[in-house]
Amino acid sequence: MNETLTLLHAHRSIRKFTDQALADGQLERIIGAGQCAATSSFLQGATIIRVSKPESRQKLATYAGNQPYVANAAEFLVFCADLRRAGNCCEQYEKPFSGDYTEHFIIATVDAALLAQNIVVAAESEGLGICYIGGLRNNPREVSDLLQLPQGVYPVFGLCLGYPDQNPEVKPRLPLEVILKQETYNDEGDAALIESYDEKIREYYRTRTGGGHGICWSEQVASLLSEKARPHMRGFLAEQGFHFK
Amino acid sequence: MNETLTLLHAHRSIRKFTDQALADGQLERIIGAGQCAATSSFLQGATIIRVSKPESRQKLATYAGNQPYVANAAEFLVFCADLRRAGNCCEQYEKPFSGDYTEHFIIATVDAALLAQNIVVAAESEGLGICYIGGLRNNPREVSDLLQLPQGVYPVFGLCLGYPDQNPEVKPRLPLEVILKQETYNDEGDAALIESYDEKIREYYRTRTGGGHGICWSEQVASLLSEKARPHMRGFLAEQGFHFK
C-alpha cells in the first residue's frame, strides 16, 4: 500500500483539538490543493466561508446542536453550494438565469462535497484532524443569516480542522461486497454480511466507550431513517432559490 | 509541498486510456481505501456498481451522451446514492421508513460524492487516470433500468478509471480569494479577479486546442446556467422514491 492509501485508511473524525494554530499560509495551501478536485461542467459551484471570530464560532457551535469543537477547532470552514457566482456570469452576458432545477442543486452540492473531501485529504496529509459538521443543517436559516449567504447559496456542511488531541480508533466500514456490486444492483447476499459487520460495530462501540451502548450499525441506521429528517430543509432551500424544478 | 499535495495538484480528467487492465485486486484496494471517507451519521449511503460487460458499457456510453471512454476505460463505476440499504434496516427493526425528505437526498448524495472523491485520490496515487461522468444523468431512467436500481437508489455519476493514454494540462481553478471568504459571503472584489482568470482560461483553451474556441470561464458558465438543466431529473427521482419532502 502506498503512502496515500495508508493515509486514507487512517481517517477518523477528530472532535478534540489542541490549541495549536495552523502555520501561516497552511490553510491556503491545503485549500489550494483541494481546489484541484474535479468540478461538474467546470462550474466550480462551491464557496467556502472561513469563520474565525469567536462569537460567530460560538453561534455556529450552538446552531449545529451544541458541538463544542465547532467553536474550539483551530479552523472552521462552511462549505456552500453556490449558484450565485454562475448567476453573476449570466447577468454579465445578458442571459437568463435558470438555476432552479433539481439538476443544479445536485451539481452544486456534489461540487461542494468533492472540494471538501479533497481538502480533507490535503489536511490529513499535513497531520491535521477533521470533523464534518452536517449539524449546520439543523439551523440553516440562522447559519445563512450569520454568514450573509445570498440567494443561490446554501450551507451544505461545516468542517472542523486542527491538530488532534485524541486518537480514536478507525471505525470499520461495511464489507466491500456490500457497497460494490457487479453489473447490476443485487443485495441478495448482503444480510449475512451485514450481520457479521453489525457484530464488529457492537464490539467497536464496546471497546471505544469502555462497555458503552453496544448498538450495531443496522439499528443505528433504522433509528436514523425512521425519524423525520430536518423537515425544514425544503422550505429553507426554496427561500435560498433552490426550487427543485 | 508533501507528496499527497503534489498528487492533488496534478489532477486532470483523462478521456483516453491505454488497454492496460488493472492488476488483480487493485480496484478492490482502491475502493477499500476510498471507503474510509467520512459518511454522514455513519449511514454509508452509497453503493457502487462496477460495469464490465462490453454491451452494458456501450449502452452507458450512449446514455451519457456518446462518451466513448465510458466504453473504453479499463473500469467504469456508477456511484449511486442508496437509501434502500437503510430501508432494509428499518424493516429488520420494524420501524417505519421515512427516506423521502430533502435531507435524506442530501445525505446520500453527499455520501456518494465523498466516497467517489476519496476513491479518485486513491486511484490517482496508483498512477491511474479518471473522469467523472455526470452525463449519466442525461438518461437516468435507462441507466437505472440497465443496472436494475431499486427504489431508494439513484445514479449520481459515473467514473472512468484506467491508465492514461494522454497527458492533458492541468486546468486552472478560480483564484483562491474567489472561493474562500472570510467570516461572511462577500463577493465585492470578485469581478476583477474573475476577469483575469477568464483571460487565463482563454489562454488555456487556445494552447490546448491549438488555436481553438478561446471561450472563457464566465461565458461557459453563463451558457450552462441559462439553459434548462436535465428537467427530467425531478420526475425520475420521484419514481425512485426521492420526494424532497
What is the DSSP code string of A9-46? HT------B-SPPPPTTHHHHHHHHHTTS--GGG---E
Task: Report the residue count for chain B.
Answer: 245
Q: Is A55 exposed, middle or buried (0-12, 13-18, 19+ CB in 10 A)?
A: exposed
Pick from A93, A97, A219: CB nearest B219: A93
Q: What pLDDT tens digit does each residue of chain A (245 aa) get?
A: 899 999 999 999 999 999 999 999 999 999 999 999 999 999 999 999 999 999 999 999 999 999 999 999 999 999 999 999 999 999 999 999 998 999 999 999 999 999 999 999 999 999 999 999 999 999 999 999 999 999 999 999 999 999 999 999 999 999 999 999 999 999 999 999 999 999 999 999 888 765 557 789 999 999 999 999 999 999 999 999 999 99
| Total Cβ atoms within 10 A of residue B189 | 10
Pick from A101, A227, A237: CB nearest B228: A101
Contacts of A174 in chain B (CB under 8 A): 35, 44
Distance CA B64, CA B135 (A): 4
According to the CATH classification, is domain A3-170 in 3.20.20.140?
A: no
- Rounded to a whole number of angstroms, the distance from the CA of A66 to the nearest CA of chain B is 16
Residue B137 exposure: Cα atoms within 13 Å on the Cβ side? 25
The phi and psi torsions of B93 (rounded to 5 degrees) equal -100, 15
CATH topology of domain B3-170+229-239: NADH Oxidase (3.40.109)
Cell of A240: 435560498
Q: Which residues pair with B89 in a beta bridge?
A: none
Judged by CB atoms closer than 8 Å, whether chains meet at B5 and A95 is answered as no
Cell of B32: 477499500
pLDDT digits (tens, 9 = 90+) for B147-183: 999 999 999 999 999 999 999 999 999 999 999 999 9
User: Where are the extended beta strands (E) located within B85-218?
Assistant: 129-133, 153-162, 180-182
With residue A96 as reference, give the H or E element that holds it: none
Residue type for A64, please?
A
Residue type for A141, please?
R
Judged by CB atoms closer than 8 Å, whether chains meet at A225 and B83 is answered as yes
Return the domain boundaries, chain A: 3-170, 176-208
Judged by CB atoms closer than 8 Å, whether chains meet at B182 and A50 is answered as yes
Residue of B nearest to A10 (CA): B36
Contacts of A228 in chain B (CB under 8 A): 98, 101
Size of interface A-B (CB pairs under 8 A): 373
